[in-house]
Amino acid sequence: MKNPPTALLVEDDGAIREALAEFLETMGYQVNAVATAEQGIASLRAEGVSLLVTDYALPGESGSWLVRQARAEGLLRTTLVVMVTALLKPPVLADVRVLRKPLDIGQLREEVRLPH
Amino acid sequence: MSGLQPPHPMELHYQLVVQGMEEGVVFHDQDGVIRATNPSAERILRVPADALLGRRSVLERCEPLQEDGSPLSLECCPALVCLRTGQSERGRVIGLRRADGELSWLSFTSHLLLRADGGRAGVVTSFRDITVLRDRETQSKLRYEEVSHTVRLHDAFLATAAHELRTPLTALRLQVQNLLHRVNSGAGVAVEVLTTKLQAAVRQTERLNALIDLLLDVSRMTVGRIELKRTSVDLAELARDLLARHADELTAGGIEVRLDAKPVTGDWDVARLEQVVGNLLSNALKYGNRKPVHIKVRREGASALLAVTDTGLGVPASDHRRIFERFERAHSGTQTGLGLGLWVVREIVAAHGGSIELASVPNEGSTFTVRLPLAPTLEAVVPKEGP
């Protein structure tokens, strides 16, 4: 049997992290969830993923930093990147889908739907 | 008929008008020499008429300034300029530094007077003191800048408040939508799982409620004094209780908090002091570089001392005042939070008649030290006079 696709989730709020991880699992992903950008980059260096979902505002380095750093190291070549944020004016990054909090799960489902 | 002719009635009327004017009036002859003044000129310039007559400028006995504060040469005074150019000078503002150092601002207007044959008879100059007007203008400009700053802070606060409210709202929405998905998928949900999920959802509503309470509390603190419900409180016990209640979160966060507290009892508001300890602790955890945080409680004469120390980012000296203001934070980055913690602490400590100080070295850490009088001081009982 083929291994399930993997997702890395970076979110500092425990309750959101837990609920988002649960949602991504129902979408068929095997989820690794961490709380900081620093933990996120360490995880990506150890193992690539099909999907990266990261919050923008994080303690320490931001979600944007994580994406730029991971791209610079060539860690996101085959990864779909989704950024979630509660900011009114979210940052703009090339090839990154930005979703505003509070998240709409229908919209998120469209973004992270697996190809059949 | 011999002797002096009585003045013509019209001339007498003119004299009365000039004598009675609120504005100072001086007359320069065609050679630029002052030949006549009125009583208001003496009053405004604080110089007797004798000292003005025969001079070239009313400004000779003081240090005249241009509107921007730079020195003004006497040849550039409005009457002499008007005489030279033939053009009227209207509303020229000139500063007068008097012998005693006081600075007044006057507004001058000079017009050329012509004789019947078209030749120059001289210049008449009127002037008034606009110092009070100028001060008022300066003050309203300052007030405007102050209000603009507050409006900008409020905008930033609203954005931050929206951001903070969205966090528990997002968690709640995801939890409920996940549950809905489970129910709709027809797979069935065990009662234990359902209970856990719903409890988690209730916790998010509590977070939302606590945030709204904080926002309302801050808004109340902004408009009025904090009403304290004083009872006998042991600060050491209060700190210990607070840590015990949050033990789970602290363990999960993985940062050690060391409490070194000796009993010290005073007349304080328990709930407000919990906010003080809680906010200082939460800051230390946030900016403490994940290293241990120390809380010290001691008695110091007629006061209690509470010190919260971290070994984290620290605060540059230039920011020590700013971070106690509303909606400000020490480090701009992407740190979350309302930026109200230290402001709330300062207000509560002040309401108790106490003080707070910060000792900090960037990249070495910070110590916030609160001193609270054990009993209400006169200052804390009697409200200060408002502005």
- Across the interface, whether the CB atoms of A18 and B203 are under 8 A apart is answered no
Q: In Å, how far are B68, B78, B114, B122, B236 from B18, measured between CA atoms?
A: 31, 20, 19, 16, 79
Closest approach of B258 to chain A, Cα-based (Å)? 23
Tell me what pLDDT residue B234 has.
96
- Across the interface, whether the CB atoms of A88 and B162 are under 8 A apart is answered yes
Structure token digits, residue B44: 């405004």
* pLDDT, tens digit, 9 for 90 and up, residues B26-76: 999 999 999 999 999 999 998 899 989 999 998 887 889 998 889 998 888
> If you average pLDDT over residues B227-254, what whole number do you get?
88
Compute the distance between CA of residue B127 and CA of residue B151 in angstroms, rounded to an integer: 40
Determine how many CB atoms are found less than 10 A away from the CB of residue A106: 8
Angle of helix A14-26 relative to helix B191-223, nearest 10 degrees?
Answer: 140
Which residues, at least 6 apart from B360, have a Cβ–Cβ distance to it below 8 Å? Answer: B314, B315, B316, B317, B320, B366, B367
Show residues of chain B in contact with A58, CB under 8 Å: 334
Q: What is the mean pLDDT of chain B?
A: 86
Structure token digits, residue B142: 């300052």
Compute the distance between CA of residue A72 and CA of residue B311 in angstroms, rounded to an integer: 32
Helix (H, G, I), strand (E, B), or coil: what is residue B235?
helix
* pLDDT, tens digit, 9 for 90 and up, residues B340-372: 788 889 999 999 999 999 999 888 899 999 999
With 0-12 CB in 10 A as exposed, 13-18 as middle and 19+ as buried, what is B77?
buried
Show residues of chain A in contact with B203, CB under 8 Å: 15
Give percent of chain B above pLDDT 70.
92
* pLDDT, tens digit, 9 for 90 and up, residues A28-83: 999 999 999 999 999 999 999 999 999 998 878 899 999 999 999 999 999 999 99
Residues within 8 A of A (CB atoms), B 8-27 only:
none
- Find the closest chain B residue to A84 by CA distance: B170
Work out the pLDDT band at B327, boundaries 50, 70, 90. low
Structure token digits, residue B130: 């606009």
- Across the interface, whether the CB atoms of B333 and A62 are under 8 A apart is answered yes
Closest approach of B158 to chain A, Cα-based (Å)? 11
Q: Is residue A18 less than 8 Å (CB to CB) from chain B?
A: yes
Show residues of chain A in contact with B252, CB under 8 Å: 14
Compute the distance between CA of residue B323 and CA of residue B339 in angstroms, rounded to an integer: 8
Helix residue spans in chain A (DSSP H): 14-26, 37-46, 63-72, 105-112
Compute the distance between CA of residue A55 and CA of residue B355 in angstroms, rounded to an integer: 38
- Find the closest chain B residue to A62 by CA distance: B334
Work out the pLDDT band at B336, boundaries 50, 70, 90. low
Q: Is residue A86 less than 8 Å (CB to CB) from chain B?
A: yes
Q: In Å, how far are B8, B110, B300 from B14, measured between CA atoms?
A: 10, 18, 79
Tell me what pLDDT residue B4 has.
60
Structure token digits, residue A79: 């990864």
Closest approach of B267 to chain A, Cα-based (Å)? 37
Closest approach of A100 to chain B, Cα-based (Å)? 10
Total residues belonging to chain B? 387
By C-alpha distance, which of B155, B325, B337, B338 is closest to A89?
B155
Closest approach of B286 to chain A, Cα-based (Å)? 8
Compute the distance between CA of residue A19 and CA of residue B258 in angstroms, rounded to an integer: 33
Work out the pLDDT band at B157, boundaries 50, 70, 90. confident
* pLDDT, tens digit, 9 for 90 and up, residues B71-82: 998 888 999 999
Work out the pLDDT band at B2, boundaries 50, 70, 90. very low
Tell me what pLDDT residue B334 has.
47
- Across the interface, whether the CB atoms of B335 and A59 are under 8 A apart is answered yes
- Across the interface, whether the CB atoms of B203 and A15 are under 8 A apart is answered yes
- Residue owning tokens 């630029």: B32
Tell me what pLDDT residue B80 has.
92
Are the C-beta atoms of A32 and A56 separated by less than 8 Å?
no
Show residues of chain A in contact with B246, CB under 8 Å: none
Compute the distance between CA of residue B31 and CA of residue B121 in angstroms, rounded to an integer: 9
Tell me what pLDDT residue B162 has.
82
